[in-house]
Amino acid sequence: MSAWVWIAVAVVGGLGAIARFLLDAIVAGRVGRALPSGTFVINASGSFALGLLTGLALTGDALIIAGTATIGAFTTFSTWMFETQRLVEDGEIAGALLNVLVSLLVGFGAAALARTIGAHL
Dihedral sign for Cα atoms in the order 43, 45, 47, 50: negative
Tell me, what's the pLDDT at 101?
A: 98
**pLDDT tens for each residue of 46-89:** 999 999 999 999 999 999 999 999 999 999 999 999 999 999 99
d(CA 96, CA 110): 21
Distances (CA, A) of 18 to 42, 104, 114: 12, 24, 23
Query: What pLDDT does 7 receive?
Result: 97
Residue 33 pLDDT exceeds 90 = no
Asked if residue 34 has pLDDT above 90, the reply is: no
Instruction: Return d(Cα 87, Cα 68) in angstroms, integer.
Output: 29
Arithmetic mean of pLDDT, 21-25: 97
What pLDDT, on a 0 to 100 scale, did the predictor assign at position 45? 98
- Give the pLDDT confidence score for residue 27 in this predicted structure: 97
pLDDT at res. 1: 83
How far is the C-alpha of 62 from the C-alpha of 74, rounded, in Å?
16
pTM for the full predicted model = 0.94
